Structure 1
């Protein structure tokens, strides 16, 4: 299942013409939010049809390069190779930053610690620590639940920590699989978008770890809204939408809805954040 694309698909159809038919593909972190925004947009804009699917930031960007989507949702910026390909193909893009996300590290509720420091996290994720003994005193194997390399979250964590992931890390197809894996694995640690945790219910048998950048500093939770607004959480990032200039006219109403009062309320109620300079 390593190469299978995780897919959530929403189809909202009407008798819309091609200039009112919008396809959105990409980030698994953003897909639940995109579905909710599309559903509510459609309630007041029946002349549009919308198709929303996930699969990862890399898939969304590749679909944009191949002319298969109008909006690529991405939890990371374009890399140098992608940027070059768009230029070579003469595809002019508009970039929209419409929300801020915090990536949460999760373990089972029975995990003996409530927080973890960045240095220790590096050693866990790059495979330097094979067991939990140095961290919790438990001499049991560490199981890492992560994403595939086409995931923006995978790329974000790798670059933020300046690591290569352990070869033993499990490459899951999306947030849902990571969450399910952690629920049944007392040795597991994984990372998911905090919005996904809130969207899937607060009664999950998991623990969201607080993060300290350095040992001795105050631990910060990705669930702490004030900390996110103050940019004090180590693993927070903007969420992107890349749109080719040729699609801008037909998606402009949807983008305006996202950035309007109703859209902002949906973004915030879904567990994501709006930072002042991104409005």
Structure 2
């Protein structure tokens, strides 16, 4: 605020849903959202203008003490597997995700009633005395707040946030803290949160072909940023304004889209391309 000391910016959280609704009700000058506006939101508030300001990726994370971490980092996790964990809720064992019989019972655990038999190549219903390997049970973590991160992840799986199963926690920091504290947990966070102590980001086999291609890898924040256009779970980040903004608000957004872009990568996001910057500037000019 060195150039404009008479203005103050107050930032608060609450998720994309709150950012959009607060902008729509004129409770804030600028709402923030990590997802596009839904058709019903635009129908209810047709004067809302979503302005892309950066890019982000949704990363799949596990605890750095996961018993199968080495295999998971090499093999990654497929869209199909994530669907079975987060939507169907049927896949409950890390043994099956990694394809490894860890407890030596000649079966690869799937859930409490089924296991994969490597000899037959089939998922089989197990007898009543089957001991599910609870020490390798998957603990999915999801978002409890109206979240653009969750909506983007859910869209990748072909569902809505409300369809995601798991322990609900608040915000990216909540997911990060929960996964970092549980060796059997899995979660999803924005790129800025994915390479922190206590967790590891997994590659995502988006097309379920059994291969991890260059753009599906999660080697580092820089690697994902350099492949953001093709990364499996990516999204734009938006400022949301209700109608053409007043000059002081428009000036701030313009700064974010021009000089401010050099700071985007410093906080873990991906800057817009020059063409995207111009498109966003046209939105605040009303062109």
Class of the TM-score when normalised by the shorter of the 2 chains: 0.7 to 0.9
Partner of 2:238: 240
Higher-Rg structure is 2
Cα distance in 2 for partners of 1:186, 1:145 equals 12
Partner of 2:43: 84
**What secondary structure does 2:12 align onto?**
strand
Please report how far the alpha carbon of residue 168 of structure 1 lies from its aligned counterpart in structure 2 after TM superposition: 4.6
Cα distance in 2 for partners of 1:86, 1:167 equals 27
- The C-alpha deviation readout for 1:94-147, integer Å capped at 9, x for no partner, is 331110001111111123211212221221111121222311345322111111
Please report how far the alpha carbon of residue 52 of structure 1 lies from its aligned counterpart in structure 2 after TM superposition: 0.7
8 Å contact from structure 1 (residues 103, 235) kept in 2? yes
8 Å contact from structure 2 (residues 86, 165) kept in 1? no
Equivalent positions of 1:1-279 (< 5 A) are 42-87=1-46, 92-111=47-66, 112=68, 113-114=72-73, 115-126=76-87, 127-136=89-98, 137=100, 139=133, 140-148=136-144, 150-163=146-159, 168-197=165-194, 202=196, 204-213=197-206, 214=208, 215-218=210-213, 219-221=216-218, 223=220, 225=222, 227-230=224-227, 231-245=229-243, 247-261=245-259, 263-276=260-273, 277-279=275-277
Please report how far the alpha carbon of residue 246 of structure 1 lies from its aligned counterpart in structure 2 after TM superposition: 5.3
Q: 1:244 to 1:167 in 2, by over 3 A?
A: closer
Q: 1:190 to 1:55 in 2, by over 3 A?
A: same
Cα distance in 2 for partners of 1:190, 1:269 equals 23
Deviating more after overlay: 184-193 vs 164-173 = 164-173
8 Å contact from structure 1 (residues 182, 189) kept in 2? yes
Cα distance in 2 for partners of 1:135, 1:210 equals 13
Cα distance in 2 for partners of 1:251, 1:169 equals 39
**What secondary structure does 1:44 align onto?**
coil
Cα-Cα RMSD: 2.1
Cα distance in 2 for partners of 1:227, 1:246 equals 34
Structure 1: tracts of 5 or more residues without a match: 1-41
Please report how far the alpha carbon of residue 195 of structure 1 lies from its aligned counterpart in structure 2 after TM superposition: 1.4
- TM-score with structure 2 length normalisation? 0.73
Aligned length: 229
Please report how far the alpha carbon of residue 226 of structure 1 lies from its aligned counterpart in structure 2 after TM superposition: 5.0
Greater RCO between the two (CA within 8 Å, min separation 6)? 2
8 Å contact from structure 1 (residues 93, 243) kept in 2? yes
- The C-alpha deviation readout for 1:14-61, integer Å capped at 9, x for no partner, is xxxxxxxxxxxxxxxxxxxxxxxxxxxx13321111111110000111
Q: 1:274 to 1:222 in 2, by over 3 A?
A: farther
8 Å contact from structure 2 (residues 221, 268) kept in 1? no
- TM-score with structure 1 length normalisation? 0.75
**What secondary structure does 1:77 align onto?**
coil
